[in-house]
Structure 1
Amino acid sequence: MTQEIDVLMGEPDEEVQSLIENFPITDPDEYFAKSAFRIVYQTNNFFLPQLRDLIDRGEVLNIRPEYQRRLRWNISQKSKLIESLLLNIPVPPVFLYESDAARYEVMDGQQRLNAVREFLAGEFALSSLEVLAPLNGLRYYSCPPRIKRALDRASLSAVVLLLESESSKNPGYADLRDIRRFIFDRLNTGGTKLNAQEIRNALNPGEFNRLIIELTRYDLFTKTFDIPEYTESDPSEYYENAKRQKNTLYSSMGDCQLVLRYFALKDEGNIRGSMKAMLDRAMRLQITAHERQKLEIEYKERFAFLYQLFDGRPFALPEDENGRQRVSAAMYDASMVAIDALWPHRNDIFQDSQGVLERLHKAHQDPALSHVLTGQGNTAKSIKERIDLLKNIFRQE
């Protein structure tokens, strides 16, 4: 039996919201003089071997902060960057963000930096070059001396962003998250455009984001959504797994969005507006390390319960005429939220597992109820209806 993943992704982008609301100054000149924030930055040029060393040491430059997107560039894209550097074609600068004193995280340019590091480490051979086609097939260590010298003299420019802290001290001013959102919007104009979850992930580092990323590595989660499991002993190797990089859910951070959907929808008061707005609001949750541990246990317990209740095939829609069975995002989040609400009754629900399966089967056979279950309506009203329907399926009053 083949299995496909049916996940609602690709939410429409929205314009950046106003950074400052109800600002009391109306005179343009005075407003500019007392603007809510100013960007302070410095620029540096780094030779490629310098960048490689900075990345490999990891003491000053963190190329893979947890909030960064997953690596997406293929060998052809990496090779064309190397070709551009050899031809001295201007390459956009990378943007670094000062997280701690003398330590920097990549804000924009992770793919470029990784391509440089991988080529200089001999991890791929050049391919798909057009102007320098005779170089196809070369690895760094096998490059002729002239080409190697040209690469060693090539450089990338870096813009290091330092943000003044005044905005956090004055009511009405933009906070740090707003400023980062503003910068990301301006940077996110070329290359592989960030999707909505990648932007959420980038703008909201912290314990809640760590929780989401950790939960995507949960073995029952990866089995259910057909994501290559995490077997690496070193977490830094998670980013290099070729099989996962080819997985659409992983590469697009759709797995993170799936986890987020549970936390966004378990709060009934947050089920309003568009799904994108619900997820955006939920992603701003601030928690402590202790709270993160409690939420991790909560999520895994509910997921494991449903995994066992449905005999290792939770959230699955009925097989189609070709024997294919999709795992539904709508079934997933509604089931998770419903079982969370009914958690005190979990033993009774498990005792009635056969009844649960029968009621679910009947719902799928009913066109009206099937429409609710499959999530063809993704409004706040339809989400609430789907959760209520799953509650009734789990525990018939």
Structure 2
Amino acid sequence: MNERIEKNYEREIRTTAVDFSFGELLNLHKEKEIVIRPEYQRLFRWSTEQRSRLIESILMGLPIPPIFLIENDGGVLELIDGLQRTSSVLQFLDNEAIEQPELTLNGCDFLTTLNGKTFRTIDVASRLKIKRSPIRATIINKSGDAFVKYELFKRLNTGGSLLSAQEIRNCSSRMIDGGTEFYELIQRLSKDRNFSESTSRLPDTSIEQRANEELVLRFFALINSRDTFKGNIEEWLDGYMESILFKKVKFDHNEMEKLFTKTFYLINNKLKDQAFTRFNSHGEATGRLAPAYFEAVCASFVSDYSIISNIKPCTLLSRLKNAFESENFKNATGPGANTIAKLHKRIDVVRRHLRGESDA
């Protein structure tokens, strides 16, 4: 009984509530005692008008929602929620401190005299009010359980409109010891030349939301954890990544990187950007990258690498078109495609076609 109580106690979140002024946050950021990481949350998704209205709200004395920080092993605080609010005010106070252009206010509806002003051109009283205005910060202490910290970040952000599912994964992975290594692997492979070229039909807006990084994770989940797929893509990817971060499964970073790079080298050299897309009646590649096609082709190339290596690109492309046009493939990618049976079916159809076999 006592052991159970002790175990539950160890998993409690230990937090400290602090009121920081924005001036203090700026100084802490300059001294590198608070870390803001724009590389895994897009720094300014807010428009100039949204940022300006936040400054207007502060000057009007309206309460600002709290921010959340996590204490790392060195005692440095890392911002995990409230990036838009914090970075907007810091940009206004000292744009050079966060390497952004000067913020000129625009779109203020109540204090209209603010429009067109910068921090240097507003009156002294307003400058001081912004710098001295408090914001409540909840600090998650470093002694807390890693899994609880990880789950907390997910719950803080899941359902919000600011972060995509992959951005939440990227951020939450940093809550776990060793998670940065996995996060950096995903980032690095998403910039691999062959991968980037073969997935170039991803829209820029999707890449902005880290869809390319999600495809890297999807590749690993497909190769290593296909049978855990239960129909919900986000839950499947979350579960697979968590099994790696919490060391429930073996994941050899070096071996997986080699497998990824050699697979996409072959895909790009054989099929270019036609690997994961539909074809029109004239046999021309059309439209965006289709995730179900991505799964089928990647799994086939990994399974039959040596066979596919010896097939001419023109022959392989012709076979791929036939695979995508087959009734069996269409049945496995249409309505209700997110089942493990249909996942296996569409992989099997593409494998057979690429090898020159019947998929009957």
Normalising by structure 2, report the TM-score: 0.80
1:132 and 2:111 are equivalent in the alignment: yes
2:108 match: secondary structure:
coil
* Residues 43-76 of structure 1 deviation map (CA, whole Å, 9 limit, x = unaligned): 333332332233344x321111766566422222
1:304 and 2:265 are equivalent in the alignment: yes
More deviation, 66-75/80-89: 66-75
Query: Are residues 193 and 67 of structure 1, via their aligned partners in 2, closer, same or farther at CA, if it must alter by over 3 Å?
Result: closer
Query: Are residues 76 and 164 of structure 1, via their aligned partners in 2, closer, same or farther at CA, if it must alter by over 3 Å?
Result: same
2:54 match: secondary structure:
helix
Choose which of 13, 21, 25 in structure 2 pairs with 1:47: 21
More deviation, 299-308/187-196: 187-196
Give the corresponding residue for 2:98.
none
2:278 match: secondary structure:
coil
Structure 1: unaligned runs, 5 residues or longer: 1-23, 166-174, 229-245
Choose which of 331, 342, 357 in structure 2 pairs with 1:382: 342
Question: 1:320: Cα distance to partner?
Answer: 7.7
1:196 and 2:165 are equivalent in the alignment: yes
1:345 and 2:307 are equivalent in the alignment: yes
Question: 1:341: Cα distance to partner?
Answer: 1.5
Whether contact under 8 Å (1:70, 1:251) holds in the other structure is no
Whether contact under 8 Å (2:279, 2:285) holds in the other structure is no
Question: 1:378: Cα distance to partner?
Answer: 1.8
Whether contact under 8 Å (1:94, 1:109) holds in the other structure is yes
Whether contact under 8 Å (2:267, 2:275) holds in the other structure is yes
The 5 A counterparts of 1:67-86 are 68=41, 71-86=44-59
How many aligned positions are there? 339
Give the corresponding residue for 1:150.
129
Whether contact under 8 Å (2:274, 2:285) holds in the other structure is no
Q: Distance in 2 between matches of 1:380 and 1:364?
A: 19
1:159 and 2:138 are equivalent in the alignment: yes
Letter in 2 for 1:127: N
Query: Are residues 34 and 89 of structure 1, via their aligned partners in 2, closer, same or farther at CA, if it must alter by over 3 Å?
Result: same
Structure with bigger RCO (C-alpha 8 Å, 6+ apart): 1
Letter in 1 for 2:87: N
Structure 2: unaligned runs, 5 residues or longer: 96-100
Q: Distance in 1 between matches of 2:48 and 2:281?
A: 37
More deviation, 325-334/364-373: 364-373
Give the corresponding residue for 1:172.
none
Give the corresponding residue for 2:316.
356
Query: Are residues 190 and 138 of structure 1, via their aligned partners in 2, closer, same or farther at CA, if it must alter by over 3 Å?
Result: farther
* Residues 282-321 of structure 1 deviation map (CA, whole Å, 9 limit, x = unaligned): 212148xx94344223212211211111144331211489
Question: 1:98: Cα distance to partner?
Answer: 0.8
Q: Distance in 1 between matches of 2:280 and 2:347?
A: 22
Give the corresponding residue for 2:210.
253
CA RMSD of aligned residues (A): 3.4
Q: Name the structure where helix makes up a greater proportion of residues.
A: 2
Question: 1:161: Cα distance to partner?
Answer: 1.0
